Each structure stands twice: as structure tokens, then as C-alpha cells.
């Protein structure tokens, strides 16, 4: 129990065997992080600048892209620093902050995807009252509560974990999460069982709501070619985004709890960072290519810049 008072840093063991690939991994990771910023900022700026895109669907998409930047900011800068460092440690406060941001980003992802499903449900199943229901004021309120609820659940989880008495400082991962910190507790705690159950229920509830809305969407679209066209253009990217997020998280969560420790460390690291790599890149790309208005605005901007450059040359 004496060890409890002297824990000021946590050791991250996920990068213990990367000495020979340090520079290559740093370059690839930096490239991925730059791509994440590029594609997400492109969508965010396009939606903000073009007033024609100030519609609920695009505002929700803008929030989803912003959330991608928020979540990855808690991981990539620290990970890049660790790749060039010989010691892989994180401060006590930094570990809890990283865990809070990563967890809240995931919870906000599910909340925003549920709101996007609701928006598509109203737009296709109740088109006559869409504009009276999805007003800009109501959209802002929905986004606000989506973030607040996510923050509340994870703040409660983080506080509950932070008050635990810890008997270790070794985290077998490349970043901090509350569940692994709770595993270091000197005795069994509510933080390890009850609090995660609330978070999982919250995310599972959002996924169930999305599938419920899609059941109604598919039934409605079957009777109309116009509605089916709307479904293919706006709902397929959303369903793809939800699938990517769920699958990415399930890989990591199931392995973390039930996976074999005999798997190569590089494979473990990839599964650990999959939800911080694939969704932040694929979401804006999928929506950017599939949604006609956004694709046209981005192409017009690029072509306009290229034409101006050629003219000046």
C-alpha cells in the first residue's frame, strides 16, 4: 500500500519493441495525422464557409469531423513523441486527461451518428414537417446535449477511476484508458464494472436507435424511387461510418478483454489505434465523395485555385 502515494507517472509498454522501426513509424504516423487534419478540416471549412450547406445534415457532419480532430489530438502528438523517445511514460494527470478525451470522443461519435440517423429519418419519413422539426436552433440544442451527455458519462467514469488507490503503474497499451487504470487498483472497484456498463449501455442504445430508424427508412424507401435515391446518397455513408466505428471499437475492446497475449505487439498496437485511424479518415472521405453538394464545393475550390495559379503563371 506504500506504493500508492509515489505513483506520479504511468509506463506505456506498447512501444517496447520498436527500436529498429522508430523513424519509419514516426514518418507514417505523422503522414496519417496530417491526412486526418487535411480531410476533416476540408469538410469543416467547406460547411462553415458555404451558407448553402448550413443544413442539419451538414452541420451534424461538421460536428462529426470536429469530434474526429478532438479525439485524435489526445493520441497522435503523444504517440509521435513516444516514437522518438527511449522512455515511454505519461504523467498521472496526463493519463487521465488522455483517457477522458478518448472516451468522450467515442461517446460523442455515437451520439452524433444517432442524431444523423434521426435527421435522415425525419427528412425521408416525414418530409412535410422536416423544416419545422429540424430548425437551426433545435439542431444546435441537439448537438450541445450530444456532447454534454457524452462528457458527463465519461467525467463520472474518470472521477471514479481517479479516486482509486493504485498498486501499479504499468499500462500494457500505447495510450491510457480508464479500464486499464482501474485494473491497477489495489482492490475491486465500482469503476471497473458498473461505470463501464453505463458507458457501454449508452453507446449500445445509440446503435439500437440507429438501426431502429433504418428499419423505418428502408420500409419507406421501398415504395418510392425518389426516397431510395435519397437513401443511397445520404444514408449509405452514414451507415458505413457507423459500421466502421463499431467494428473498429469491437476489435480493440474484445481483444483487450479476451485476446491472447501471444499476438505480436505490432498487431496489438494496430488494433489499439484502429478506431483512431480509420474512422477519422474514412468519415470525411466517404461523405466528401458521396454527398454531391460537398463534393462540388470542394472540387470548385480546388479547380478555382488551380485556374488562378495557372493564370498568374
What pLDDT, on the 0 to 100 scale, is given for residue 308? Answer: 42
Question: For residues 101 and 71, is the Cβ–Cβ distance under 8 A?
Answer: yes
CA-to-CA distance for 88 and 81, rounded, in angstroms? 9
Label the pairing between strands 9-12 and 170-171.
Answer: parallel
Is residue 304 situated within a structural domain? no
What pLDDT, on the 0 to 100 scale, is given for residue 259? Answer: 61
pLDDT digits (tens, 9 = 90+) for 144-156: 999 998 888 788 8
Is residue 310 situated within a structural domain? no
Residue 85: count of CB within 10 angstroms of its CB: 11
- Residue 191's pLDDT band (boundaries 50, 70, 90)? low
Is residue 311 situated within a structural domain? no
CA-to-CA distance for 105 and 111, rounded, in angstroms? 10
What pLDDT, on the 0 to 100 scale, is given for residue 307? Answer: 45
Q: What's the average model confidence in pLDDT over 36-58?
A: 90
What pLDDT, on the 0 to 100 scale, is given for residue 1? Answer: 43
What pLDDT, on the 0 to 100 scale, is given for residue 16? Answer: 74
Residue 185: count of CB within 10 angstroms of its CB: 17
CA-to-CA distance for 13 and 211, rounded, in angstroms? 38
CA-to-CA distance for 69 and 192, rounded, in angstroms? 28
Question: For residues 237 and 287, is the Cβ–Cβ distance under 8 A?
Answer: yes
pTM of the complete model: 0.85
What pLDDT, on the 0 to 100 scale, is given for residue 72? Answer: 95
- Of the candidate ranges 44-48, 141-145, 234-238, the one whose mean pLDDT is the lowest: 234-238
pLDDT digits (tens, 9 = 90+) for 243-281: 888 887 777 777 676 665 667 777 778 888 888 888 899
- Higher pLDDT, residue 105 or 286: 105
Query: Is 5's pLDDT higher than 60?
Result: no
CA-to-CA distance for 178 and 200, rounded, in angstroms? 13
pLDDT digits (tens, 9 = 90+) for 136-146: 899 999 999 99
pLDDT digits (tens, 9 = 90+) for 276-295: 888 899 888 887 777 777 87
| Number of structural domains found in the chain | 1
Is residue 1 situated within a structural domain? no
What pLDDT, on the 0 to 100 scale, is given for residue 172? Answer: 84
Q: What angle do CA 8, 155, 181 make, to 5 degrees?
A: 40
What pLDDT, on the 0 to 100 scale, is given for residue 88? Answer: 85
Is residue 213 situated within a structural domain? yes
3-class secondary structure, 211: helix
Question: For residues 32 and 285, is the Cβ–Cβ distance under 8 A?
Answer: no
CA-to-CA distance for 164 and 190, rounded, in angstroms? 10
Burial code (b: 16+ CB inside 10 Å, e: under 16) for 13-28 equals: ebbeebeeeeeebbee
Is residue 21 situated within a structural domain? yes
Could you tell me the three cell numbers for 239? 451507415
3-class secondary structure, 163: coil
Q: What's the average model confidence in pLDDT over 39-50?
A: 90
CA-to-CA distance for 174 and 85, rounded, in angstroms? 13
The residue segments making up the domain with residue 272 are 9-298
Burial code (b: 16+ CB inside 10 Å, e: under 16) for 196-225 equals: beebeebbeebbebbeebbeebeebbeeee
pLDDT digits (tens, 9 = 90+) for 85-95: 888 889 988 99
Is residue 312 situated within a structural domain? no
CATH of the domain at 18: 1.20.1070.10
- Residue 313's pLDDT band (boundaries 50, 70, 90)? very low
Q: Hey, which residues does 90 pair with through a beta bridge?
A: 10
Amino acid at each position: 500500500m506504500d506504493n500508492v502515494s509515489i505513483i506520479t507517472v504511468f509506463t506505456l509498454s506498447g512501444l517496447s519493441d520498436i527500436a529498429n522501426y522508430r523513424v519509419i513509424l514516426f514518418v507514417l504516423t505523422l503522414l496519417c495525422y496530417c491526412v486526418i487534419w487535411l480531410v476533416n478540416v476540408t469538410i469543416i471549412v467547406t460547411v462553415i464557409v458555404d451558407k448553402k450547406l448550413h443544413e442539419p445534415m451538414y452541420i451534424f457532419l461538421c460536428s462529426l469531423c470536429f469530434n474526429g480532430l478532438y479525439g485524435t489530438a489526445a493520441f497522435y502528438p503523444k504517440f509521435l513523441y513516444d516514437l522518438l523517445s527511449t522512455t515511454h511514460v505519461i504523467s498521472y494527470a496526463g493519463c487521465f486527461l488522455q483517457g477522458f478525451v478518448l472516451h468522450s470522443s467515442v461517446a460523442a461519435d455515437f451520439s452524433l451518428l444517432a442524431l444523423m440517423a434521426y435527421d435522415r429519418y425525419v427528412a425521408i419519413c416525414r418530409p412535410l414537417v422536416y423544416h419545422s422539426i429540424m430548425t437551426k436552433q433545435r439542431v444546435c440544442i441537439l448537438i450541445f446535449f450530444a456532447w454534454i451527455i457524452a462528457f458527463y458519462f465519461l467525467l463520472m467514469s474518470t472521477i471514479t477511476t481517479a479516486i482509486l488507490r493504485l498498486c501499479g503503474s504499468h499500462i500494457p497499451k500505447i495510450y491510457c484508458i480508464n479500464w486499464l487504470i482501474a485494473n491497477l487498483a489495489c482492490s475491486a472497484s465500482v469503476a471497473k464494472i458498473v461505470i463501464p456498463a453505463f458507458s457501454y449501455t449508452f453507446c449500445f442504445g445509440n446503435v439500437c436507435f440507429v438501426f431502429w430508424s433504418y428499419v423505418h427508412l428502408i420500409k419507406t424507401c421501398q415504395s418510392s424511387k425518389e426516397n431510395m435515391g435519397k437513401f443511397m446518397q445520404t444514408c449509405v455513408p452514414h451507415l458505413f461510418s457507423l459500421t466502421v466505428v463499431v467494428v473498429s471499437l469491437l476489435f480493440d475492446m474484445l481483444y483487450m478483454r479476451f485476446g491472447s497475449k501471444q499476438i505480436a505487439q505490432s498487431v496489438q498496437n494496430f488494433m489499439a489505434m484502429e478506431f483512431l485511424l480509420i474512422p477519422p479518415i474514412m468519415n470525411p472521405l466517404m461523405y466528401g465523395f458521396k454527398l454531391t453538394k460537398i463534393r462540388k464545393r470542394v472540387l470548385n475550390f480546388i479547380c478555382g485555385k488551380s485556374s488562378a495559379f495557372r493564370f498568374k503563371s
